[in-house]
């Protein structure tokens, strides 16, 4: 990786009372790479991610995005800069159709009577949705169905399409293949590869080691709030990763 990192996390620490949920964590993400974040429950993955996506403000350390140090007050500020976090089920309104979800909060409108009256431009939103879905090679039978009638993988695709349409520069996916059937899991992994191919980096949180080895370039293992190792996927194997996760191996102790 010769380019500058798009995201650069330095010494981020987040405490909840006496508990140190993230302890002095460094993390770099470069354009076009998939970084996997692993660790047992309570290892601090979600805390770290929430610091990056603006949900939490870290107690110490800095986060730079595109070379500029940032401090997000809300997740919306992070998203406006291009950090799109895709949650399992929280992000979509199940009763609305696909274009309504892709454009939720940022609807396209017709101006009428020189801007006095505004009307939703449903046709253009449907066309744009179709376009971004075909860019991702996602085929949905009906765009005008409530998304609650779609499968879990299709819903993930809609959430990703929303991120892409709004020029996501970094996509964070939290357990994207959880609760999905096997064919659906494959589709989501394919989507991650497409994101990577189009130059958008992805931070992938997952427990599923085969998934991680299938799509990631690098992996970061966390344990008890600390980063215990960072390795290129090509240089490691599942067995070693598990040893790091359970604490049998720890690069910080060796150093």
| CA-based nearest residue to 104, from 88, 118, 93 | 93
Q: In terms of CB distance, is 71 or 106 closer to another protein?
A: 106
Which residues inside 56-75 make contact with another protein, applying CB under 8 A? 75
Please name every residue paired with 172 in a beta bridge, in sequence order, or none if there are none. Answer: 85, 203
Contacts of 115 (CB under 8 A, 6+ apart): none
| CA-based nearest residue to 33, from 6, 15, 55, 52 | 6
Shortest distance, position 79 Cβ to another protein, whole Å: 8
Q: Which of 59, 64, 122, 208 binds another protein (CB under 8 A)?
A: 122
Is residue 76 at the binding interface for another protein, with CB under 8 A as the rule? yes
Is residue 92 at the binding interface for another protein, with CB under 8 A as the rule? yes
Q: Which of 96, 140, 209, 226 binds another protein (CB under 8 A)?
A: 96
Q: Which of 1, 19, 60, 95 binds another protein (CB under 8 A)?
A: 95
Instruction: Tokens for 121, please give them.
Output: 């431009």
Q: Which of 32, 66, 146, 250 binds another protein (CB under 8 A)?
A: 146
Is residue 107 at the binding interface for another protein, with CB under 8 A as the rule? yes
CA–CA separation, 69 and 220 (whole Å): 22
Cα separations in angstroms, 71 against 56, 67, 136, 173, 199: 10, 13, 31, 21, 24
What residues line the site for another protein (CB under 8 A)? 75-76, 79, 87, 90-97, 99-100, 104-107, 109, 118-120, 122-123, 126, 142, 144-146, 149
């Amino acid at each position: 990786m010769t380019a500058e990192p798009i995201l650069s996390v330095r010494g981020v620490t987040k405490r909840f009372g006496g508990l140190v949920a993230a302890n002095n964590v460094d993390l770099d993400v470069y354009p076009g790479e998939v970084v996997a974040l692993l660790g047992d429950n309570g290892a601090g993955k979600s805390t770290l991610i929430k610091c990056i996506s603006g949900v939490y403000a870290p107690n110490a350390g800095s986060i730079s995005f595109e070379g500029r140090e940032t401090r997000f007050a809300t997740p919306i500020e992070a998203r406006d800069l291009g950090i799109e976090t895709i949650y399992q089920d929280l992000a979509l309104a199940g009763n609305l159709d696909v274009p309504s979800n892709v454009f939720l909060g940022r609807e396209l409108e017709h101006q009428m009577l020189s801007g006095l009256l505004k009307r939703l431009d449903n046709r253009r939103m449907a066309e744009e949705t179709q376009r971004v879905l075909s860019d991702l090679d996602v085929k949905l039978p009906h765009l005008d169905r409530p998304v609650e009638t779609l499968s879990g993988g299709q819903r993930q695709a809609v959430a990703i399409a929303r991120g892409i349409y709004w020029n996501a520069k970094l996509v964070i996916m939290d357990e994207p293949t959880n609760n999905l059937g096997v064919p659906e899991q494959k589709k989501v992994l394919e989507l991650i590869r497409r994101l990577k191919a189009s130059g958008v980096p992805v931070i992938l949180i997952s427990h599923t080691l085969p998934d991680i080895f299938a799509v990631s370039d690098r992996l970061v293992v966390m344990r008890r709030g600390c980063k215990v190792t960072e390795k290129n996927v090509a240089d490691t194997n599942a067995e070693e990763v598990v040893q790091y996760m359970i604490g049998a191996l720890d690069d910080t102790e060796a150093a």
